[in-house]
């Protein structure tokens, strides 16, 4: 029995925010002090490190659950299935629905329930629930859906990754330039002749690493006590390049696939330099150089949309929307991610 991704869909918001749109922002250090450099210099250095030139923000009238719904409609259509046949809807996110201009996350009812409602699914045995697993949430959702299907508890699952991080960032924090909004969705089901999850790997490092990403107060001391997404960027970089390559290698070993068979690596789009360092270290474990075009990137134009990045990247790749990158039947790809928790995971997948 094969369990495969049979449909993909994504929603990329229309609101484009370029780096120069931050030129008038007041950026502060975590102690509230100002930077000695001007914003033009800060933005230039930011672009050199992260690779981000633009990002997308959700339209004011749309929320995380709306983005997930719009991506899900496309995935269901792409798979050619009846939505009433879905056994599970797994919605992977981190902050719930945060209305434009507000700061409180809304997760009642769950975002998965909202998507089921928007899809107008009548079947009560279609179980809808949310997953909070940081940026690796979509991969973990696929791992859970795979287990449901393999055990016989389900036949078809919808796994969504969506986020509106632009609404939970501190405008005084230069890291706010990293984050963006978007959604990706996938259908996972049994198949006879295409696609297969070959292996997966997951881990949570929480002894010293749990609060590398956290909710904290603004760097502007005279603001209210609203909490925003915060991170220790250097520590996350060191953690990621240390632990993600090993997780990918362990997953590949369990799959029985040789490293030379891997055609693409779809890694969470968090930071271009960090992602390149992870993949280079992964290939160094095999005494190999990182192959050209092994790592398709969308971070330059879409930013870091957290759980949405990999399913969005997969959808764009399969739909032929990434220049110089293609996938064909039987190609082996690796999905890999790292994020809040600190969580790390990977999947080896044959198309």
Banded pLDDT at 332 (limits 50, 70, 90): very high
Residue 173 predicted with pLDDT over 80: yes
Residue 30 predicted with pLDDT over 90: no
For residue 181, the cross-strand partners are 164
HSE toward the beta carbon, residue 157, CA cutoff 13 A: 27
Banded pLDDT at 13 (limits 50, 70, 90): very high
Question: Which pLDDT value is given to residue 101?
Answer: 84
Weakest-pLDDT range from 8-22, 152-166, 190-204, 211-225:
211-225
> What gap in Å lies between CA 133 and CA 341, rounded to an integer?
7
> What gap in Å lies between CA 280 and CA 277, rounded to an integer?
5
Give the chain's mean pLDDT. 94
CA–centroid distance for 206 within its chain: 20
For residue 214, the cross-strand partners are 230
Question: Which pLDDT value is given to residue 90?
Answer: 98
Over the stretch 102-127, which tens digit does the pLDDT of each residue have? Answer: 878 889 999 999 999 999 999 999 99
Residue 86 predicted with pLDDT over 70: yes
Task: For residue 344, give every residue at least 6 positions away whose Cβ sits within 8 Å of its Cβ, in sequence order, or none.
Answer: 136, 201, 202, 203, 204, 205, 243, 244, 247, 337, 338
Residue 1 predicted with pLDDT over 80: no
> What gap in Å lies between CA 184 and CA 335, rounded to an integer?
14
> What gap in Å lies between CA 269 and CA 310, rounded to an integer?
7
> What gap in Å lies between CA 62 and CA 22, rounded to an integer?
23
Over the stretch 43-65, which tens digit does the pLDDT of each residue have? Answer: 999 999 999 999 999 999 999 99
Q: Which two tokens stand for residue 85?
A: 């046949």
Range(s) within the chain of domains with CATH label 3.40.47.10: 2-194, 198-350
CATH number of 2-194: 3.40.47.10
Fold of 198-350: Peroxisomal Thiolase; Chain A, domain 1 (3.40.47)
State mean pLDDT over 137-150.
97
SS3 301: helix
Q: Which of 62, 93, 297, 282 is nearest to 184 (CA)?
A: 93
CB 13 within 8 A of CB 308: no
CB 348 within 8 A of CB 196: no
CB 130 within 8 A of CB 115: no
SS3 267: strand
Alpha-helical runs (H) found in 81-134:
111-119
Banded pLDDT at 307 (limits 50, 70, 90): very high
State mean pLDDT over 317-326.
90
Banded pLDDT at 340 (limits 50, 70, 90): very high
> What gap in Å lies between CA 158 and CA 187, rounded to an integer?
5
CA–centroid distance for 313 within its chain: 9
CB 241 within 8 A of CB 275: no
Residue 172 predicted with pLDDT over 80: yes
Question: Which pLDDT value is given to residue 223?
Answer: 65
Over the stretch 89-108, which tens digit does the pLDDT of each residue have? Answer: 999 999 999 999 887 888 99
Residue 193 predicted with pLDDT over 80: no
How many C-beta atoms lie closer than 10 Å to residue 331's C-beta?
A: 14
HSE toward the beta carbon, residue 42, CA cutoff 13 A: 23
State mean pLDDT over 14-30.
93
Strands, E assignment, 241-291: 262-267
Question: Which pLDDT value is given to residue 105?
Answer: 87
Question: Which pLDDT value is given to residue 194?
Answer: 77
Q: What are the respective helix, strand and coil percentages of the chain, to the nearest 5?
A: 35, 30, 40
Over the stretch 197-211, which tens digit does the pLDDT of each residue have? Answer: 999 999 999 999 999
> What gap in Å lies between CA 223 and CA 240, rounded to an integer?
32
Task: For residue 210, give every residue at least 6 positions away whose Cβ sits within 8 Å of its Cβ, in sequence order, or none.
Answer: 341, 342
């Amino acid at each position: 029995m094969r369990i495969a991704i049979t449909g993909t869909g994504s929603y990329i918001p229309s609101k484009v925010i370029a780096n120069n749109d931050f030129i008038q922002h007041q950026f502060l250090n975590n102690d509230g002090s100002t930077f000695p450099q001007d914003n033009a210099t800060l933005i230039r250095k930011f672009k050199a490190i992260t690779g981000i030139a633009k990002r997308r923000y959700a339209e004011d009238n749309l929320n995380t659950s709306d983005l997930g719904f719009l991506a899900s409609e496309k995935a269901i259509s792409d798979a050619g299935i009846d939505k009433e046949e879905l056994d599970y809807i797994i919605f992977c996110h981190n902050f719930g629905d945060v209305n434009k201009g507000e700061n409180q996350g809304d997760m009642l009812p769950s975002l998965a329930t909202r998507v089921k409602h928007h899809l107008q699914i009548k079947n009560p045995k279609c179980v809808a629930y949310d997953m909070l697993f940081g940026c690796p949430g979509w991969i973990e959702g696929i791992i859970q859906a795979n287990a449901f299907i393999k055990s016989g508890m389900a036949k078809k699952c919808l796994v969504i990754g969506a986020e509106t991080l632009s609404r939970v960032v501190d405008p005084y924090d230069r890291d706010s330039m990293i984050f963006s909004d978007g959604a990706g969705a996938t259908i996972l089901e049994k198949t006879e002749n295409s696609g297969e999850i070959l292996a997966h790997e997951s881990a949570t490092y929480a002894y010293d690493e749990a609060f590398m990403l956290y909710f904290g107060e603004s760097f502007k001391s005279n603001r209210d006590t609203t909490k925003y997404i915060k991170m220790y960027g250097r520590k996350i970089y060191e953690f990621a390049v240390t632990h993600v390559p090993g997780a990918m290698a362990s997953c590949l070993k369990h799959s029985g696939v040789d490293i030379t068979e891997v055609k693409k690596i779809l890694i969470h789009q968090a930071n271009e330099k960090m992602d390149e360092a992870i993949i280079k270290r992964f290939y160094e474990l095999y005494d190999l150089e990182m192959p050209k075009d092994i790592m398709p990137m969308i971070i330059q134009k879409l930013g870091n949309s957290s759980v949405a990045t990999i399913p969005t990247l997969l959808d764009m790749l399969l739909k032929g929307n990434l220049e110089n990158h293609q996938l064909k039947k039987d190609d082996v790809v690796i999905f890999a991610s790292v994020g809040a928790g600190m969580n790390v995971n990977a999947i080896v997948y044959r198309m």
